[in-house]
Amino acid sequence: MCRAGAALVVVLSAAAQVAQAQAPGAGTVRARALLARAESLWTQLGQRDSANTQRIYRERRARRFDAGPLAVLLPGSVGLETGFRVATGAAGYLGEALPPEFVASRVVVAFTATGVDSVVRAEGLSARTRVMADVAAKPDSLADGWVAAAAVARDYRDALDTTWREWLPQDLAMAWTLRRDGAAAARDLMSGDTRAGADCLAGSVAGCRLWLGLDGDASPYLVRYGSDGLRRLVANRYFEATSARDLAHECTTGSDEACERLASLGFLPAIPAGLAPRSSVLAFIRARKGPAALPRAFADVQGSVGERLARSAGIPEDSLVGEWRIWLLTGGGQSRVTADLGDALPVVVFGGLLLLAAARGGRWR
């Protein structure tokens, strides 16, 4: 009910009460008229509010849109074309990351949809697990297709074992592309924040495995950051809690155990590489080994992340990591820029003139 209408009713009711109090005789008739008017307005506003609520309910009543194994329930106000584009876009992302049978076991439901229970029963979707998604009442077909896919991806990731949950990005890198996201992943690698990252950049496959957290290390912080690296990071940080400051003191004075305990409290992520580089590993496997490779890897529950990815790709782990590094740093393994003699001649002439000028200046004599 609108606030202005409710306020009007309150004012009329108050006026009626005042009139009745001031003039017990003649004012009674006036008071009763005002009260009747207030009650009438209240009833009209209630009916109007109820009609408006029912209209919104009907407009947002859930409507089903399908694309392959994916079913999406969107508000009824969404047009057919837009709804199918949202479902198709979501299915496109999911098709390269998740098994079709998992997608077919879920139904994406927009928060803005109403009457979901009755529609689910009528559409025969009761056996499917509902996955809620923050799809707008007037969705953008591209962005909200991704939102619907990401909701299913998070649900799938949460169902995997601890090894995968601790390593995988929530969206399973479904939308990661080398052209748009490769530079951020390469910058993370080239930052040299950790010894493992610097070794990986220099060409060490073992360093890459440590930096990416691919191995099932029993002491991940000490192994991946190194004791000296942990002490350096701890020494450059202030800790508010007394217990943390005590651990920091023990760490910087030589206790590896204190360094690891402090890091495990949330001071550092267990995996030095950020989400962008880890996503790039998944994108590399998808690009080089085909979309079926990742679902195979996610279904594998034996060994470390690196071992699972290597088995899904069908190559040794070190080969996989080495190829990924080249792929990322070269922008997808693009060939080097070449030039013929005609292209190079102006550069050679210009360089020669610079050398001649320097020689005449006597600086190199």
Identify the pLDDT of residue 18: 53
Q: Which two tokens stand for residue 244?
A: 């943390």
In a domain, 336, yes or no: no
Q: pLDDT by residue (tens digit) across 156-211?
A: 999 999 999 999 999 999 999 999 999 999 999 999 889 999 999 999 999 999 99
Residue 338 in any domain: the answer is no
Note down the domain range covering 218.
178-329
Cβ atoms 87, 93 nearer than 8 A: no
Shared domain for 139 and 270, answered yes or no, is: no
Global confidence as pTM: 0.75
193 and 267 fall within a common domain: yes
Give me the amino acid identity at 47: Q
Q: Do residues 191 and 259 share a domain?
A: yes
The number of beta carbons lying within 10 Å of the beta carbon of residue 116 is 18
Please give the pLDDT value at position 12.
Answer: 52
> Is 344 inside any structural domain?
no
C-alpha 195/C-alpha 65 separation (Å) is: 50
Asked if residue 78 and residue 44 are part of one domain, the reply reads no
Q: Does 347 fall in a domain?
A: no
Task: Convert the pLDDT of each residue in 82-118 to its tens digit.
Answer: 999 999 999 999 988 899 999 999 999 999 999 999 9
For residues 112 and 223, state if they share a domain: no
Give me the mean pLDDT over the 324-344 stretch: 66
Q: How far apart are CA 262 and CA 83, in angstroms?
A: 49
